[in-house]
Amino acid sequence: MAKSKLIKANEKITEKVTGAFGKVQDSVVGGYSKIEDKFVDQYLTKDGESIADAKARLKQEQADRKAKQDLHKQ
């Protein structure tokens, strides 16, 4: 009987801890995304380019640089 009470108590603690962690994680990731979007919008977008387009362009440019660098290593 005592063991089952301990197990139930541990399960409640586990649920509360994982729930709190999820909330913290969501707020941190959300905050980072807002900061990232502001930075891209202010410094990295070209005229008339949306934030999503700028991120896609930057990702493609990075992939192109990496491919070019890999070719020079061979």
| Total number of domains in the chain | 1
Q: Please state the rounded mean pLDDT for residues 7-32.
A: 97
Q: Is the pLDDT of residue 1 over 70?
A: no
pLDDT digits (tens, 9 = 90+) for 55-70: 999 999 999 999 999 9
Q: How far apart are CA 3 and CA 74, in angstroms?
A: 63
Q: Please give the distance of CA 42 from its chain centroid, rounded to a whole number.
A: 20
**Which domain range does residue 45 map to?**
2-73
Mean pLDDT of the 28-44 span? 97
pLDDT band at 2 (very low <50, low <70, confident <90, very high): low
User: How many C-beta atoms lie closer than 10 Å to residue 55's C-beta?
Assistant: 16
Task: Quote the tokens at residue 19.
Answer: 């729930």
Q: End-to-end alpha-carbon separation of the chain, Å?
A: 68
CA distances from 31 to 25, 46, 56, 65, 73 (A): 10, 24, 20, 29, 38
